[in-house]
Amino acid sequence: MLQIFILYSLLQPLHWKRLKASLIFELQEVAGHKAGKGKLGPLVDDSGCFYKPYQCDDRGSKEVAFYTSFSSNTKIPHHIRRFFPVFYGTKLVEASDGSGLSPHIVLQDLVSNRNNPSIMDIKIGARTWYPQASDDYIERCFQKDRETTTSLLGFRISGLQIYENKESGFWKPVKKLVQAFNVEDVRLVLRKFVSSNSPTDSNSVPDCSFAPSVYGGSSGILAQLLELKEWFEDQTIYNLNSCSVLMVYEKESLLKGTSPGAEIKLVDFAHVIEGTGIIDHNFLGGLCSLIKIISEILTGPDEHTNKACLQDMEKNSVIDNGTNK
């Protein structure tokens, strides 16, 4: 059962560990929240909680406002809540750099029970800015959207790690390389993500041997994305600007003949705005584009699925043409 909006007592004893070699450090490095250059790093405790530093500008307050609203909103279907991290409130804890108490958003640790997970962070939407944002923010987002696959595909890969084996560890391309991915690179990486051959071997074609178990099946990533898509075809409560879909699975479990634990989670809600009774075509169009590519990896292009997705992408394009700079 998914827990909703549970506030931890300030008197509860915590057993801390810093983000060094822990798996949660790997996740946050993938998702773009690495500590450094004056930025506090996230923390985890031994009870399955993840502590995200509260951003001092309005991003922190907006993210808390979204989680609070989402957690208490009775219009959110139960089966949709599982795609969002559990929110436990906010708490003052010792900062990762030892500088003293600092506010943190307390969330579900998404990888506490996983062993060497492969993770991909995909930022959804053909635009990451929104009209209510500052001119400076819009300009920066507009430029990045044009320079990446965001405008062309309706999404971009923000970071990833693919587990190879005990000897080689993870393939984790640097941020600069990931930002330079073109459309064909994105298609290739989505295939590498579910392949048994090394992602660093440029001479081999990704075999996609894990695709049926990770992307496919009644509980695989594609089925989850389609379930999420169905909700976004109707929901007008939120506009999820600049949010990401995390795709996670465990290769080692798959090789042992057990479930890979393929799962998606939505993260990063600092730019969410309330809906105005209009479907979020920006997010929906990007989601459809991702679904289309994953569907092609599994079975080749499916005319019915592709047609529906293209219609959403076209709607999104029309809306953006009316607001783009």
The pLDDT tens digits of the residues spanning 94-121 come to 888 777 888 999 999 998 889 999 999 9
Q: What proportion of the chain, given as a percentage, has pLDDT over 70?
A: 80
pLDDT value at position 18? 38
Average pLDDT along the chain = 84
Average pLDDT of the segment spanning 14-41: 49
Q: Coil, helix or strand for 210? A: coil
pLDDT value at position 309? 53
pLDDT value at position 40? 80
| Whether pLDDT at 38 is above 50 | yes
pLDDT value at position 259? 96
Domain ranges of the chain: 16-108, 117-321
Tally of CB atoms within 10 A around 223: 15
Task: Identify the H or E element spanning 224.
Answer: helix 221-232
pLDDT tens digit sequence for 53-97: 998 888 999 999 999 999 999 999 999 999 999 999 999 988 887
pLDDT value at position 234? 97
Q: What are phi and psi of 203, to 5 degrees?
A: -90, -10
pLDDT value at position 36? 55
Half-sphere exposure (Cβ direction) of 223: Cα atoms closer than 13 Å: 12
Half-sphere exposure (Cβ direction) of 249: Cα atoms closer than 13 Å: 25
| Whether pLDDT at 4 is above 70 | no
Which pLDDT band holds residue 208 (cuts at 50, 70, 90)?
very high
Higher-pLDDT residue of 98, 246: 246
238: exposed, middle or buried (Cβ count in 10 Å: 0-12, 13-18, 19+): buried
Do 184 and 152 touch, CB atoms closer than 8 A?
Answer: no
307: its two tokens: 């047609």
Residue 21, phi-psi category: left (phi > 0), alpha (psi -120 to 50), beta (remainder): alpha
pLDDT value at position 25? 37
Higher-pLDDT residue of 13, 57: 57
How many helices and strands in the chain, by DSSP H and E?
12, 12
Which pLDDT band holds residue 278 (cuts at 50, 70, 90)?
very high
Q: What is the pTM of this model?
A: 0.83
Query: Of 162, 200, 194, 166, whose CA–CA distance to 294 is shortest?
Result: 194
pLDDT value at position 277? 93
Cβ contacts of 14 within 8 Å, gap of 6 or more: 45, 47, 93
Note the CATH number of domain 117-321. 3.30.470.160
* CA–CA dist 200, 171 (Å, integer): 7
Ranking 7-16, 54-63, 95-104, 219-228 by mean pLDDT, the lowest is: 7-16
* Inter-CA distances, 67 with 78, 229, 258, Å: 15, 20, 33
| Whether pLDDT at 294 is above 80 | yes
